[in-house]
A and B are shown apart, each in its own frame.
Chain A
Amino acid sequence: MSKKEWPLWEVFIRSKAGLNHKHVGSLRAADATMAVENARDVYTRRSEGISIWVVESMNIHASDPAEADSLFEPADSKVYRHPTFYDVPDGISHM
């Protein structure tokens, strides 16, 4: 275990109440407590946040970019999922 680098953590910040936590970057920390504090010092020096999430990078599972076509393109053709697909007669409001 000696000379082992501290694990990498991904940092997510909620910039104000009502908004999602958003990924802002990463940092190194030996444990979760330290990761939260380091995130506070590194990523919120200018009042950028009111809440912090940290996740050890190795625990993030991502979709495969090579499969992006089959994962995401099929949704492009489902235009009927969007309200603009439908005709609403003139004079109708609140819909």
Chain B
Amino acid sequence: MKELNLNELERRFQEKIDKDIKIEPNDWMPENYRQTLIRQISQHAHSEIVGMLPEGNWITRAPNLRRKAVLLAKVQDEAGHGLYLYSATETLGADREETIDDLHSGKAKYSSIFNYPTLTWADMGAIGWLVDGAAIMNQVPLCRCSYGPYARAMVRVCKEESFHQRQGFEIMTTLANGTPEQKAMAQDALNRFWWPALMMFGPNDADSKHTEQSMRWKIKRHSNDELRQQFVDVTVPQAEMIGLTVPDKDLKFNEQTGHYEYGEINWDEFWEVVKGNGPCNKDRIDVRRKAKEDGEWVREAANAFAEKRARKKSA
């Protein structure tokens, strides 16, 4: 086989992507593509895992058995999704344990929405409805992303996640149709989660440093602002339908564009939370770190046992 120079390899790589041919683990890929993917997928995986905590917080306090089972199943799915995604990063040569250590050291990021506390039961509704709703909007286009294992993981995630948003909206609807206390609880949750949900789509396009290259590589299919707009357009009528008010005095429908115009996002708050200064950043990471440390003797024991049995078998 003749030696190909780097430019030629890159040209062929981009050609494949342009033709919508998926890239698979052992295929040649630019190092930067690999690194960008590892960063993006592991951030996504960390978000799933850290995202278990704010909701897990309410499992033992769920108001009835049906809600308890649904919440358990949902949080469990998030563990599953984290796992599918870590699997995808492992195909790129990123070891799961090292990836997780980067989360614990603060080197790797995760969705900052999970750094807000869940204060009432209505937050389970708000998270399912808004946070999962926003996540789905991000994720559906990624089912067509150029990297095969990531795209396949996303197909699985999206399929499973379709119940997550519905159960959240169901909780919100029940509360909104309930007693005045319940309705107030729902409104309060919407008030607290609305803006952080909009921040989930990331900085404005003008301030988003990775967008252009990622779009060319098809590991990002829409810009942050496009997705955010789509989310607002879909969600505002849902809030109206159940009689809740979106906490944005500047929100109005533009007849000409057919889109909602919304107020300015508090980007200072966004960057503070990303930097680690959100209400729960420290708690979340401490919990994850503790789970890993507490589990170390278990993982070691399982290894030791497996080795003993393997020796016995071969003896």
Q: Enumerate chain A interface residues (CB-CB to B < 8 A).
A: 1-6, 8, 24-28, 30-31, 34, 42, 45-46, 62, 64-67
CB proximity of B170 to chain A, nearest CB, Å: 19
23 intermolecular pairs with C-beta atoms under 8 Å apart? A3-B296, A4-B303, A5-B299, A6-B299, A24-B156, A25-B83, A25-B84, A25-B87, A25-B152, A26-B90, A27-B83, A30-B305, A30-B306, A31-B302, A31-B310, A34-B302, A45-B76, A45-B77, A45-B80, A64-B26, A65-B26, A65-B28, A67-B1
| Chain B residues touching A, range | 20 to 34
CB proximity of B111 to chain A, nearest CB, Å: 22
Which residue on A lies nearest to B302, using beta carbons? A30
Question: Is the Cβ of B303 less than 8 Å from the Cβ of A62?
Answer: no
| Interfacial residues of chain B within 285-315, with CB under 8 A of chain A in the complex | 296, 299-300, 302-307, 309-310
Q: Which residues of A contact B185 (CB under 8 A)?
A: none
Q: Which residues of B contact A2 (CB under 8 A)?
A: 300
With A42-B83, A45-B77 given, can you name 12 additional A-B contacts, CB distance below 8 Å?
A2-B300, A4-B303, A5-B299, A8-B90, A25-B153, A27-B83, A30-B303, A45-B76, A45-B80, A65-B26, A65-B28, A66-B1
Question: Is the Cβ of B96 less than 8 Å from the Cβ of A5?
Answer: yes
Looking at B28, B87, B307, the one whose CB has the most chain A CB atoms below 10 A away is B87
Asked whether A31 and B80 contact (CB < 8 A) given A4-B303, A66-B1, the answer is: no
CB proximity of A3 to chain B, nearest CB, Å: 7
Question: Which 6 pairs show the lowest CB-CB distances between chains A and B?
Answer: A30-B302, A31-B306, A26-B87, A30-B306, A65-B26, A25-B87
